[in-house]
Amino acid sequence: MDSSLTLDRRAAAARLDAAVRARTQGIADDKTMLRTAAELTRELNAPRAWIYWSDLIASAVIGFAALAAAILLAPTGWAILAGVVAVLALYRAESFIHELTHIKHAALPGFRFGWNALAGIPLLVPSFMYEGVHNLHHARTRYGTSEDPEYLPLALMKPWTLPLFVLAALLAPVALLVRFAVLAPLSVLIPSLRTMVVERYSALSINPSFRRRAPEGAAKTQWLWQEAAASVWAIALLTMVATGVVPLRAFLIFLAVASSVAVINQVRTLVAHLWENEGEVMTVTAQYLDTVNVPPPALLPMLWAPVGLRYHALHHLLPGVPYHALGQAHRRISAALDGQSPYHKASYPGLPGLVAKIARSTMVAR
């Protein structure tokens, strides 16, 4: 009976593997979809500075004010509510790092510096950790391959990898403190450590085999000032905690909020793709279908996939469209393409169904 069960599982795994390969490798580009998407959204590519700045500033102010309230209030329901508001607002503010990797900085003068000052440095995720990394995820011949820093075939891995993937984010704030307060200063003195820090600890990536190249030119200048600022802040924060200037309770609340932000983002990352590619180069349409939109009428994606991240598949199709125009772009394209178009197949109703879909794929033993 055991051998029969094993054979059944192997047969199911073989069928799933064949289905996955058919979905990811046998999909030709749908030229009608690609052409329609490009033609209908040409005038939407310009970012509106007032939207970016007002959204970022409001999110950061609300987030840090709520964090202060969570720290200063007695441990009550109001303090917990303030902590929840802090998590959601700071998560939204932090999510603008994604926009920074796509916008032309000349179109939004000072926004990269403003974001780093308001969110990136205080939360220890300066933009150099993502700029120069995320663009590789969008490269036509890198997506879903071993050279993609933001891709793992999670749907084809063991079931225990999914909770581990999410729970690992709990330690992100501690890891960032160590990276900037300890490793960065030491790496100035130890060349071999510097190589390791640059290659392995300077990218917001999920692919453990990814190795980052050392920056050059203007990117190096941005990297160095941001890293120095983050290091000064991390060292100052730990020093203030050690000397009692910052109470331990306040520090732990800050870590709890930062960890919650990281976990929500990791859950969002988990459902941003279907994760069904095993390393082969994919067509643009195949990449689109391996990615996820969670459009209206669902409301909760505004919280767990903010700043346009609910339209992640559309973003992969049109990475130049700013976040505030993605909703309009989606409505235009949806109305123009018939129900048989691949465009509609990347839309899903919500988070629970996506998690269940990926979890079911991992349940088949390989």
Q: Report the C-alpha gap between 283 and 30 in whole angstroms.
A: 9
pLDDT level of residue 24 (50, 70, 90 thresholds) = low
pLDDT value of position 77: 93
Could you give the dihedral angle defined by the CA atoms of residues 46, 273, 254 and 51, in that order, rounded to the nearest 10 degrees?
10
In this predicted structure, what is the pLDDT of residue 2?
A: 37
- pLDDT for the residue numbered 12: 41
Decide if 46 contacts 320 (C-beta within 8 A): no
Alpha-carbon distance 103 to 113, whole Å? 14
User: Confidence band (pLDDT; 50, 70, 90) for 4?
Assistant: very low
Using CA atoms in the order 27, 29, 33, 35, what is the torsion angle rounded to 10 degrees? 180
Residue 9, pLDDT > 60, answer no
How far, in Å, CA of 359 to CA of 293, rounded?
18
Mean pLDDT within 310-320 = 97
Given a cut of 90, is residue 131 above it in pLDDT? yes
Angstrom distance (rounded) from CA 298 to CA 350: 7
Tens-place pLDDT, residues 274-284 = 999 988 999 99
Q: Tell me what the pLDDT averaged over the chain comes to.
A: 92
Residue 213 is predicted with a pLDDT of 94
- Reported as a single tens digit per residue, the pLDDT across 177-192 is 999 999 999 999 999 9
Residue 52 has which token pair?
A: 């970016």
Residue 310 has pLDDT above 50, yes or no: yes
Q: Count the neighbouring beta carbons within 10 Å of the beta carbon of residue 300.
A: 12
CA distance 131 to 203: 9
Note whether 319 and 291 are within 8 A (CB): no
Phi, psi of 185 (to 5 degrees): -65, -40
Q: What SS3 state is found at 133? A: coil
- The predicted pLDDT at position 25 comes to 55
